[in-house]
Chains A and B, each alone.
Chain A
Amino acid sequence: MTLQTPPETRSKQDSPAALLKLRGISKRYGDFAAVEPLDLDIFPRDFVAVLGPSGCGKTTLLRIIGGFVSPTTGTVEIDGRDVTKIGPEKRPTNTVFQGYGLFPHMTVRQNVGYGLRLQKKTRAEIDDRVAEALRQSRLTEFADRSVAALSGGQQQRVALARALILRPKVLLLDEPLAALDLKLRHTMQDELRRLHQEFGGTFVFVTHDQGEALSLANRIAVMNAGRIEQEGNAESIYAAPATRFVATFIGDANLLQGERHGGQVKLEAGPAFADAGPDGAITAVVRPKAVKLLAAGEGADVQIAGMVEDVVYLGDHIKCSVKIMGEQQIIVHLDAAIAPRPVVGEQVNLGWPLLQQRVVVA
């Protein structure tokens, strides 16, 4: 876990290897900006999650990529071709819709073969490829059922098979797991990972669930209020959130307000340390796992004294809430085997290394 180069600088480079390039993409509906101008590169075989709360513009972004929404500004380029003006029926993308959009008047087989029939492939080729797709999606036994008779998970698999059979350059998935119950969601996560590997394609999915994003995607773009606030792999986003929003949206985080002046940061809670950057309000972000309970005389880059307020045993770790100066609270995750366990009311010293702390503006 080390500090990373700010990811924004990377996405602005014109990487020749990028499969999907968004340049200056924005979407306005009247006065409302659903997507602020943004750039994004997606590389072959990427499994990208566009993560954000509802209303952040992530679905609009996906629909711009899919061709269902034309951007107010900017271009969409896929495999070196500008497809901004091309409709979804001609784009080398396919989408798995949130409601799946299966055709209820067709059987599973007919749904999966729909795209190939439109391409006027020969009967034999359609039959072969459909059979193969059904096998891969473990749908063979349901082939001639009406899609209305399938469970949610099965419908999801039909939607995937129907899209993947066309071998899209980019597969787009809109909240693919939102409609499923928890248990099925885990099964489908595995399924999606497996399909991504077997298919060897490029997947982009939108989700509001950070767990889903972390477990499926090799790259995550965190969106908020129409902007991509950070983009990178799961580790870098978790360890080095670029903004306060990213820090809070992904994983638990302790946030400490402070002020930077001439390369010196002074936190409201007391500690001070050196940190290069512009003057002004900052927030120091530290994950609960990075915070240590200091033994008497033990030192750390950043130290704060406080009083234990709550101790909860959670199996693999102990969650400890410590009240510090200014009515603030710091959450500490301690090794479950720690001895002696802190007790409520105990005065403790907390500390963490600068390397595991991230300072973001405001």
Chain B
Amino acid sequence: MESRSNYWLVAPSALIFCALFIAPMAFFAVLSFWQVEYFELSTEPTLANYRDVFANYWRVMGFTVVVATATALLTTALGFVFSFLARFRAVEWAQALLFIVLITLFGGYLMKIYAWKTILGNEGVLNSALLALGVISSPITSLLYSPQAVVVTLMHFSLPFAVLPIYASMRGIADSEVEAARDLGAGRWPILSTVIVPRCQSGIVAAFSFVFLIVGGDYVTPLLVGGKLTMIGNLIAPQFGAQFNWPLGAAMSIVMLAAAVIVIYLFRLLVALWSRQ
């Protein structure tokens, strides 16, 4: 009786999960084995899309994975430091710090991108300041329209997604655990590496995953601050628009998703290895 009623309780969330996650994925999976020719969808199963992906897009995909991994690592580290300060160092400011993090979520995606354009451009805030200070004599043109600009912008955008899960898991660490570690002879670094990081494993992996997936799927930031940069999202998006090749887009998405799963799994493994006692 009881177990049956429990099933009913999870039914709505299971339904939502299926409708919002499983069904579209399944649709994409099926779609990726079809083909489009002259606006006509051919449902003849084919591996042509996957062959195309591995033959022509592996380089961009690899670059995207590298950018996403770098951004996710940096953002996770930054999010960790931020959370650490809020949880252990500036406890009385924790609420304010988190409020600021949340507020930046409301800032909007494009606004942040344009803010960084304003900061990093040839006549931008940074160059103007450096010129005025006499540090440089002509603008550093590589600030904007570069991979670094993409990474910085995406870090700014995704930082809240890294801070929130890490801070949440740090909240689960009792002060007495940290004090016990100190008491048993642990200095700053051992406390961090043997207690805090292992205790935040799930938060750290969640943060990394969020950021990786945000970056891996992004196609607006590279367009606007990347200059000539192309990431896989820039090639996937047109498949669903201008190029009208949903099957190829689906195949690209699924390969990228697989790559993301692998990278995230590897990162998880790394964190777990680190945390092993």
Residues of A within 8 A of B (CB): 66, 68, 87-90, 93-95, 97-106, 110, 114-115, 117-119, 159, 162-163, 166
A102 near B180 with CB under 8 A, answer yes
B183 near A99 with CB under 8 A, answer no
**Which of A87, A90, A102, A114 counts the most chain B CB atoms within 10 A?**
A114
Contact digits for B185-201, partner A, Cβ 8 Å, 1 yes 0 no: 11100100011001101
List the A side residues contacting B186 at CB < 8 Å: 89, 118
List the A side residues contacting B181 at CB < 8 Å: 103, 114
Can you list 9 A-B contacts (CB < 8 A)? Answer: A88-B182, A95-B180, A101-B174, A101-B177, A101-B180, A105-B198, A105-B199, A162-B180, A162-B184
**Once A and B bind, how many residue pairs between them come within 8 Å at the CB atom?**
69
Judged by a CB distance under 8 angstroms, whether B275 is at the interface is yes
List the A side residues contacting B194 at CB < 8 Å: 114
CB < 8 Å neighbour of A118 from B177, B179, B190, B201: B190
A94 to B181, CA, bound (A): 10
B275 near A105 with CB under 8 A, answer yes
A100 near B179 with CB under 8 A, answer no
Whole-angstrom distance between the Cβ of B21 and the nearest chain A Cβ: 30
A99 near B176 with CB under 8 A, answer yes
List the A side residues contacting B277 at CB < 8 Å: 105-106, 110, 117
B183 near A94 with CB under 8 A, answer yes
List the A side residues contacting B182 at CB < 8 Å: 68, 87-89
B174 near A118 with CB under 8 A, answer no
B176 near A98 with CB under 8 A, answer yes
Whole-angstrom distance between the Cβ of B175 and the nearest chain A Cβ: 8
CB < 8 Å neighbour of A102 from B177, B190, B198: B177
Contact digits for B108-127, partner A, Cβ 8 Å, 1 yes 0 no: 00000000000000000000
List the B side residues contacting A104 at CB < 8 Å: 177, 199
List the B side residues contacting A110 at CB < 8 Å: 277
A115 to B186, CA, bound (A): 8
List the A side residues contacting B190 at CB < 8 Å: 118
- Sorting the interface of chain B by its residue count into under 10, 10 to 19, 20 to 34 or 35 or more gives 20 to 34
List the B side residues contacting A87 at CB < 8 Å: 182
B177 near A88 with CB under 8 A, answer no
List B residues 204-218 near A (Cβ within 8 Å). Answer: none
CB < 8 Å neighbour of A94 from B174, B176, B184, B187: B184
Whole-angstrom distance between the Cβ of B202 and the nearest chain A Cβ: 11
B185 near A89 with CB under 8 A, answer yes
Whole-angstrom distance between the Cβ of A99 and the nearest chain B Cβ: 5
Chain A residue with the shortest CB-CB distance to B184:
A115
A114 to B190, CA, bound (A): 11
A101 near B185 with CB under 8 A, answer no
A95 to B177, CA, bound (A): 11
Whole-angstrom distance between the Cβ of A348 and the nearest chain B Cβ: 54
List the A side residues contacting B179 at CB < 8 Å: 68, 88, 95, 97, 101
List the A side residues contacting B201 at CB < 8 Å: 105
A95 near B275 with CB under 8 A, answer no
A101 near B187 with CB under 8 A, answer no
CB < 8 Å neighbour of B183 from A95, A103, A105: A95
Known A68-B182, A100-B180, A101-B179; 8 more pairs at CB < 8 Å: A66-B183, A99-B174, A101-B176, A104-B177, A105-B201, A105-B277, A118-B190, A162-B184
**Which of B174, B185, B186 counts the most chain A CB atoms within 10 A?**
B185
CB < 8 Å neighbour of A97 from B180, B185, B275: B180
Whole-angstrom distance between the Cβ of B142 and the nearest chain A Cβ: 44
A98 to B177, CA, bound (A): 11
A89 near B187 with CB under 8 A, answer yes
Whole-angstrom distance between the Cβ of A238 and the nearest chain B Cβ: 33
Whole-angstrom distance between the Cβ of B251 and the nearest chain A Cβ: 40
A354 to B162, CA, bound (A): 73
Chain A residue with the shortest CB-CB distance to B173:
A104
List B residues 150-180 near A (Cβ within 8 Å). Answer: 174, 176-180
Chain B residue with the shortest CB-CB distance to A162:
B184
A99 to B183, CA, bound (A): 14
Chain B residue with the shortest CB-CB distance to A95:
B183
**Which of A95, A103, A106 counts the most chain B CB atoms within 10 A?**
A103
Q: Which 8 residue pairs are nearest across A and B when measured between Cβ atoms?
A: A101-B176, A101-B180, A115-B184, A97-B176, A118-B185, A99-B176, A110-B277, A88-B183
Chain B residue with the shortest CB-CB distance to A168:
B183
B185 near A103 with CB under 8 A, answer no
List the A side residues contacting B184 at CB < 8 Å: 89, 94, 114-115, 118, 162-163, 166
Whole-angstrom distance between the Cβ of B65 and the nearest chain A Cβ: 30
A150 to B167, CA, bound (A): 27
List the B side residues contacting A95 at CB < 8 Å: 179-180, 183
Contact digits for B40-54, partner A, Cβ 8 Å, 1 yes 0 no: 000000000000000
List the A side residues contacting B195 at CB < 8 Å: 103
Chain A residue with the shortest CB-CB distance to B185:
A118
B177 near A166 with CB under 8 A, answer no
A351 to B183, CA, bound (A): 54
Chain A residue with the shortest CB-CB distance to B199:
A105
List the B side residues contacting A94 at CB < 8 Å: 183-184
CB < 8 Å neighbour of A166 from B178, B185, B275: B185
Given A105-B198, A105-B199, A100 and B185 touching (CB < 8 A)?
A: no
Whole-angstrom distance between the Cβ of A162 and the nearest chain B Cβ: 7
A106 to B276, CA, bound (A): 9
List the B side residues contacting A163 at CB < 8 Å: 183-184
